[in-house]
Structure 1
Amino acid sequence: MKMASGLWKFKPDRSPGTSLLRPGAADWFRVFAVGMVGAFHIWQQSWIGWGKLDFLVRTGGAFVDGMILLSAFCLYLPYAHDWVAKKPFRGCKGFYRRRAVRILPGYYLATLIPALLAASRGVDKNFWLDVAGHLLLVPTALPQSYVHSQINGALWTVGVLVLFYLLFPLLSRCFYVKPMVSVCVLCAGQLGYTLWMLPKTDLAYSMGFNQLPAMLGVLALGFAAALLVAVWGQTKAGHKAFLLLGVAGILGAGAVLWQIAHGAEMQHAQLIWRMPLSTCFGAVLVGFSLAVLAPAPGFVRWLSAISYGFYLWHQWLAVQLKYHWRIPAWQGDTPPNQLGDRLWMEQYQWLTWAVCLGAAVVCYYAVERPFAGWIKSRKGQKLPGGACQGQKTVV
């Protein structure tokens, strides 16, 4: 009861303190977005639907767009508050180091272990290209390390984010000087790339529709959402208006996901509806960041902290459990879900969730935190983080 009352406690003071520099909505959003991507990949293996909400799990992969938007939102939020306060641009000193400390230990572990197990089943030229693409942080550059990866199919998202991180110092400065122009340029870039991609088919389309140019507008909306939180956070606008904005974003996202799920070709529909969906995601972030000023409950913040490890491991573990380790046990050549074995499907689904969460906990406490602590002890600096409470855990 105390946790619930704290969550929905409204405060009239909207000065950019911990509530607006570290919005609890970011933790809630991250947990839900990563969870939906996990639900999608586990559903692909279990075939257990969600009844009338089946369209949500079938389109769970689209929440990767929300994760990318959230990364832009969290990274730019401190700059947005500085912009509102008319402070000089703070620069990006140490940005690359902080991002590397945050993402690389877990990423390379999630590359190394799957690569070793894949190598035990035999290696060829495609395997080494797969390894090279992942080690160089460009998994989306080659079919062997992206759509045909033998290592870890979820790591492509990190590759896209790395490219964004490389551009962040430039993008953040551009937004600081000309926010509206920057939004228009990035959105136009995504629109042009989308129009170029849509006629493509088969491998050419699969390789292209999730590349960074297809996400430029999504990044722009993340920056814009951060700026709106900073600007509107200074006003006296009522909480109800912001709450309505967040609820409208949820309803709008649901409507867009329904359209994607019922599209003739889901991947093409995802690209077509990417900007409307991201706009709804942005409305959710802005609305609830300004309406619910209390921080997220401790359990949600903890889930947010381990979400990066969960994302890194969930898809690979789901496939390993089913096909290579055959846990829960099954015999023959046809997986039990294709035979309608409901008991096995249920057991597999819950076991996979448990194993993936366990892997996330191990990754966080045995790899991510110790490595960050080691860097802190060597540099005498704070642990890598950012504006949002869960920024140090963002993918």
Structure 2
Amino acid sequence: MTETARPSLPRNRPRNRPRILADLTPLRTSVHYRRLWFGNTISWIGQGMTTLAISLQVYDITRSTFAVGLVGLFSLVPLVAFGLYGGAVADTVDRRRLGLVSASGSAVLSAALAAGAFAGFEHVWFLYGVVALQAVCAAVNSPARSAMIPRLLPPEQLPAANALNSMTTTSGFLVGPMLGGLIVGFAGYQSAYFIDAVAFSASLYAMWRLPSMRPDRAVGAKKASVLEGLRFLATRPNLRMTFFSDFCAMIVAHPRALFPAVAVAWYGGDARTTGMLAAAPALGALLGGVFSGWQGRIRRHGLAILFAVGAWGTAIAVFGLTRNLWLGLFFLAVAGCADTVSMVFRNTMMQVAAPDEMRGRLQGVFIVVVAGGPRLGDFLAGSVADLTSPTVTVTGGGIACVLALGLLALRWRGFARYDARNPTP
């Protein structure tokens, strides 16, 4: 190309102006990704509404907090059990079709909840059954949907896409329950469930417009097994480290289960204080997605993950030492922001460094880690706090997270040298 043929930059836009806000390039360049992102965002908000509505309805029927707690168990077990299987299926069939079928199943289940509520069918085991089936659909849908993204965008746009996806997830956690509470309060459970069922149409339409998404290489059903995916992961130290680093944060330094006790003992608060503590990491995660424009310039993804997980552990440790509520909320928000940064680069490494025929299974493992890790962290934090104190548990967990991460980084030194321009799994 000659010098005169080169397109000129806009005069009012500096060539190297640093980007601060989220990079919207994936939304501008790929109409398929844009539809999928908007559809998923609407669906996640609808699912957040349903999640809260089910908890409220279970409590309304039983007046038991234990019964409400079982909702999480009925969701977790199928999610973990079918997450790995769903990833294996995603590596054998057309991922577009698998996404359509599983999302349609979730929509039908939301419609069943609405029909039951309209009919006055108030049986807690019906709600538990729907929750379990919804978790199965999600466990099958998520690996297929995540494995589609690298087929829609070039590798250099994947960090931006994963940051945008993190905003979708966080919006579902924040906006969905708030809308769900308002809608249930004004119009009843049936309205929340019905809106969720209708909201799935956006995701279904986006997937319907996608091209065929079969894996790059034809993989037989026997080869595309869960064990094959785990054996692949066992021989790929950089990909394996993405999971180990997340374990350091989500299992060793995860104080969520202690928020009710901490709200009273440290801040003299009540249920509203507990809600603020729970919302602070989510708000930080959302801000981490909104101000993610800088992430596209990072090439050392492994090093970025180490810094982010180290920041999580440090923020949690300092949170355990502060007795000022607003300062505590600030450090929890910092931890949430660091978690988003870690998630963006971990997901990008899996999408780029793994071959296409393995992406579904690795995303299945990712689901198990994301779903199971925090629950194990809740159990560990509660057990240690009973033996010691919340202060020792929270601060000690944050310090242990940083130390464990450092030992892992020393054991697998190549992880810090991982370069996105030459991805090595």
On whether the aligned pair clears a TM of 0.5, the verdict is no
Range into which the TM-score falls when normalised by the shorter chain: 0.3 to 0.5
